[in-house]
Amino acid sequence: MAYIVVATGNQHKVEEYKELLADQNVELKSLKDYPNCPEVIEDGKTFTENASKKAVEVCRYCDVPAFADDSGLEVEALGGEPGIFSSRYADTDAARIEKVLKNLEGKDNRRARFVCVIAIAINGEVIETFEGEVKGSIVDAPRGSNGFGYDPIFQPDGYDKTFAEMTDEEKNKISHRANAVKKALEFIEDEMSILDSEF
């Protein structure tokens, strides 16, 4: 069976990818299988640059195919913040959520989107990147305890629940990560002969 490492230190992402790739004929490894892998410094200016750097460095260090995602929340009325700084916006999830809500005080426009860019690296080079998004709005106060990060304040369009009020299964049907994975799997299906020879 082909295997691939998901290059992330975020265990919530690992769990989501396990579920999103459950039906695929691929064994998913994580950085827990490579505990000495050095941390990748995210100094890119875009989700794509950061995802590519994470995938390439882990692919080269572990000497196996790898993929990474760089993801985040873009809030329209905040000029796209926190964006690529989503994980660094404040020190804890609760503080990050509070900062978004505080910065939105008095603003009518609560539109936001989650973005996820997946980069796949094979033989030490990025072969392709895939962007997924989910549009929605920021609610007035956090609701729910599932998921991670900004999930308690993000309500996807067409639903009356935040991501943190949804089951993993519900979130994984519509999330930015799920949409990026769909594009990646379509690409892999089309290019399967290339991957077969590389794996």
Report the half-sphere exposure of 52 (CA within 13 A, side-chain side).
14
CA angle 103, 71, 134 (to 5 degrees): 80
**What 3-state DSSP class applies to 182?**
helix
Q: Distance between CA atoms of 46 and 80, rounded to whole angstroms? A: 12
Give me the least distance between CB of 197 and ligand ITT, in Å please: 28
1 vs 22, beta carbon nearer ligand ITT: 22
**What 3-state DSSP class applies to 21?**
coil
65 vs 147, beta carbon nearer ligand ITT: 147
Give me the least distance between CB of 91 and ligand ITT, in Å please: 12
Residue nearest to ligand ITT (CB): 149
Active site residue 196: no
Catalytic-labelled residue, pool 69, 70, 190, 196: 70
Q: Site residues (CB under 6 A) for ligand ITT?
A: 8-10, 13, 42, 69-73, 86-87, 114, 147-151, 163, 175, 177
**What 3-state DSSP class applies to 27?**
strand
Q: Distance between CA atoms of 144 and 187, rounded to whole angstroms? A: 34
Give me the least distance between CB of 190 and ligand ITT, in Å please: 26
Give me the least distance between CB of 19 and ligand ITT, in Å please: 12
From the list 125, 109, 120, 53, the residue with the least C-alpha distance to 84 is 53
Give me the least distance between CB of 194 and ligand ITT, in Å please: 26
180 vs 195, beta carbon nearer ligand ITT: 180
160, exposed or middle or buried, with CB in 10 Å at 0-12, 13-18, 19+?
exposed
4 vs 25, beta carbon nearer ligand ITT: 4
8 vs 155, beta carbon nearer ligand ITT: 8
Torsion of CA 27, 173, 92, 42, to 10 degrees: 60
Q: Which residues does the annotation mark as catalytic?
A: 70
